[in-house]
Amino acid sequence: MFVCENLSVNKKGHLTIGGVDAIDIANEYGTPLYVMDIYVVRKNCERLASIVNKYYGNNALLCFASKSFCCKKIYNIMQQENMGVDTVSIGEMYTAIKAGFPSKKVYFHGNSKTEDELEYALENKIGRVVVDNITELNSLNYIAKKKGVVADILLRLKPGVDAHVHKYVTTGSVNSKFGFDIANGEAMEAVKKAMELENVNLLGIHCHIGSQIFEVEPFLLAAEIMMDFIKDVKIKTQNELLELNLGGGFGVRYLQTDKSFDIDCCIKSVCELVKSKASDYGLSLPFLIFEPGRYIVAQAGVTLYTVGCRKEIDKDIKYVSVNGGMTDNPRYILYGSLYEATLANKASEEKLEKVSIAGKCCESGDLLGEGVLLQRAEKGDILAMFATGAYNYSMSSNYNRNLIPAVLFIENGNCSLAVKRQTLEDLIRNDV
Ligand X SMILES: Cc1ncc(COP(=O)(O)O)c(C=O)c1O
Would you tell me the crossing angle of helices 72-80 and 38-56 to the nearest 10 degrees? 40
- Residue 291 within binding range of ligand X, rule CB under 6 A: yes
Q: Using N-to-C axis directions, what is the helix angle for 186-196 and 217-237, rounded to 10°?
A: 50
| Interface with ligand X, residue 277, by CB under 6 A | no
| Torsion, CA 168, CA 169, CA 171, CA 172, rounded to 10 | -120
Assess 208 for contact with ligand X (CB under 6 A).
Answer: yes
The Cα 26–Cα 30 span in angstroms is 5
Nearer to ligand X among residue 68 and residue 321 (C-beta): 68
Contact status: 172 vs ligand X (CB under 6 A): no
The answer, yes or no, to whether the previous bond of 218 is cis (omega within 30 of 0) is no
The least distance separating ligand X from the CB of residue 337, rounded to whole angstroms, comes to 12
Strand, coil or helix: what is 372? strand
Distance of CA 123 to the CA centre of its chain: 26
Closest distance of CB 432 from ligand X, Å: 34
Strand partners, 384: 304, 342
In angstroms, give the least distance from the CB of 1 to ligand X: 26
Q: Is 362 a catalytic residue?
A: yes
Q: Does 324 bind ligand X (CB under 6 A)?
A: no
Verify binding: residue 249, ligand X, rule CB under 6 A: yes
Q: Does 394 bind ligand X (CB under 6 A)?
A: no
Size of the site for ligand X (CB under 6 A): 16
- Strand spans (E) along 313-389: 318-322, 341-343, 353-358, 367-374, 382-386
211 part of the interface to ligand X, by CB under 6 A: yes
- Give the list of residues 6+ apart from residue 27 with CB closer than 8 angstroms, or none: none
Nearer CB in complex with ligand X: 203/304: 203
Residue 413 burial (10 A CB sphere; 0-12, 13-18, 19+)? exposed
Contact 124, 97 (CB under 8 A): yes
Out of 45, 309, 362, 415, the active site residue is: 362
Q: Which is nearer to ligand X, 194 or 209 (CB)?
A: 209
Query: Which of 179, 204, 292, 324 touches ligand X by CB under 6 A?
Result: 292
Q: How far is the CB of 208 from ligand X (least distance, A)?
A: 4
Site residues for ligand X, 61-90, by CB under 6 A, read: 65, 67-68, 86
Residues that bind ligand X (CB under 6 A): 65, 67-68, 86, 109, 208, 211, 247-250, 291-295
Query: Catalytic amino acids?
Result: 362
